[in-house]
Structures are given as structure tokens and as C-alpha cells.
Amino acid sequence: MRYPCVEIDINKIRHNARYLVDYCGNNGIEVMGVTKGVCAFYPVVKAMLEGGVKKLGDSRLHNIKALRESGFEIPIYLIRIPMLSEVRDAVRLADGSLNSEVNVIKALSEETRAIGRTHKVILMVDVGDLREGVMPEDVLDVVGQIIGLPGIEFEGLGTNVGCYGGILPSYENTKVLVDLAGDIEKRYGIKVKTLSGGNTATLALLEKGELAPGINQFRIGEAILLGTDVTNFRKVPGTLQGTMKLKTEVIEVKVKPSYPIGEIGRDAFGNVPVFENKGPMRRAIVALGKQDCRIEGLRPLDESIEILGASSDHTIIDVTGRPEIKVGDIVEFGMNYGAMLSLMTSEYVGKMVLNSP
């Protein structure tokens, strides 16, 4: 086996997909399975589909292209606003996309005419997180510019919270979509098919019965992939955790002081590190660094081990409580969404699938 390596339990991911598809479906909500967190890694995407997911979303056309080349023919949406420079590929590879710029949607329209296809558009509405989206007061006018465009199907409205501004989903900010959909239908006489009310973080609203009635789609990645909801700092009820773990190899073990020797300046990333003097410490180094992973998102599965810090290629851990650890041993870590995203993106980190049929 090549280390470092992410070990992926496909059975748990399949279970999470099945549970969430059933739970949301029983409440009139479809699940768009978001694959960007694992870079559309084939075995994980397959497990999502085996769990009942019937629509996929990814933020990278590179990943969508890989999905198409792997034979996935189900609807796939580009969930980051298309760049003008990638409109041609977006129309050819994705069935639809999330959008907020009229000029981009017009460019999508031009490309659809060139190949005789229809591209579905979900117009994003900014309800307070201040990432992407049209402001609510501008939505009706923007929809009026979209619905007449050739090759464009206005599918509905979407919103996103919890990713940039940290704004939590609420009855009030999901109801914004529902109210706007009613206004659109009244003014233009069209049916708003999809109200994409958020992501994993919005599941908590559904569980508490506080989701605005009318929301009929969630874009879910983290809850399927990890069984967690980092925005609300919780495990998602009904899902399994421990779907992925990182395995790293120890390359040095020595007793050293806990406080650096000499004048402290900035580290390789321009930060001034802060250290606590705990006296001599048995320290190990594993072959993993910030080039591979968002180290802050890791936690040692052995609670007697503590992460002390990392450089681009090395992660230093305190193994004072584990005197048996030696060079060549494997140390395992759990991860949050940010760490998973970086690990799955890194070509230097291996991926190993457990329980694959």
C-alpha cells in the first residue's frame, strides 16, 4: 500500500445515501448528490447511485467530464456558476447549472443553439450568506430576462448558506425562495419546478420541522460522505460516521524539546508560530504535510496522540503516551470536510476502497 492513503468504507457511504434519499424523499425533497468533496471518485459516486441518488452535482467541469467518460448518464449539474470561458463545455457536459449572471446565461443559450440542446438553469438567490446569488429584490426582473432565451429551461431557484458567511439556514431565509417562486408563477404564468433550498446544513431545519414548505431539493455532499454537518457542528442523525480515515507512515521518532531553540521568526507559510514549553517530548513525524491536506481538519484516532503542527511535507505529532511507536508504523486520523476535500484532491495521497462489491 502507498502512504499516505485515504481508506474509504463504501458500505457506510452507500448507507448514508440510502438513508438521506429515503428521509428527504418522504418529505417531498429530492437529493442532488454532490461529488466535489471526493473529486467525483468513481467508487464513491457509484455508491451514491446505489444508495438511490438520481441526480449529481459538481463544481468542476473536469470532474463532470470524468463522470461522463466513466459512463454516468444520469442528470449532472455544474453547481459553481459557469465561467464564460467554460460555457461551451458546460453545455456539452452538464444537463444544467446554477447561475446568477444574465450574461453567462445568455452565453449558455448561444451554445445550446449551436448543438441543439436544452440547458436547465437554477437561478441562485442570495438570502444573506453573501456568496453567489441575485439579491431577492432583483429576482423577478432577472427571471424575465431568462425565460425567453432559446435553449434555456428556467428550472427554478436555489440558495446557499453556511459556506462563506456562515449564515445558518432558517425558516425565514428558505421561505424567501418559496415566496419568490409564487411571485414568478403569478407574474409570468410558468411553473417553478425546483426550489433548491440548501445543503447538508439545511437538514437540521427539516428535522426540526422548520423548513419552509415548498422547498423540494437539497444539494448534499458532506452528510453522505462523512455523516457530519460541520456548519451545525453535529453528526447527522441516521447516518454513519467513520466513512473515511487517513493512514500515514511514521518517518522519524525522537525525544526533543517542546520549545524551538533560537529566535522565532515566520514559518514557511509566513505565520509566526506559537509554542508552549512542556519540556522534553517524544515526537514523531509522519509523511504528510500542508501540500497534501488541511491539517487543522485532522484528528488522531488514538486520543493519546496530539498533532503539534505541520510544514508543507511533514506533520509532527506528540507520541509521548505511545512509547511503542517506531519508524515505519502507521498512524491513523479522522477528518472533517475540509481535510477530506484536500486529501481527495491531492495526487500525492493514495485512495483505497473497502467493501467494494
Q: Is 36 a catalytic residue?
A: yes
Closest CA to 241 of 16, 7, 4: 16
* 249, β-bridge pairs: 330
Q: Which three cell numbers stand for residue 146?
A: 431568462
Question: What secondary structure does DSSP assign to 82-126, as a single string?
Answer: PPGGGHHHHHHH-SEEEE--HHHHHHHHHHHHHHT--EEEEEEB-
* E-assigned strand segments in the chain: 5-9, 30-34, 55-58, 76-78, 96-99, 119-124, 152-158, 194-196, 217-220, 228-229, 234-235, 244-256, 281-286, 298-300, 306-310, 315-318, 330-335, 350-354
H helices of 119-227, in order, are 139-146, 171-188, 203-208, 222-225
Q: Which three cell numbers stand for residue 151?
A: 435553449
Q: Which three cell numbers stand for residue 116?
A: 441543439
User: Which residue is catalytic, options 12, 36, 46, 290?
Assistant: 36
Distance CA 100, CA 95 (A): 17
**Active-site positions?**
36
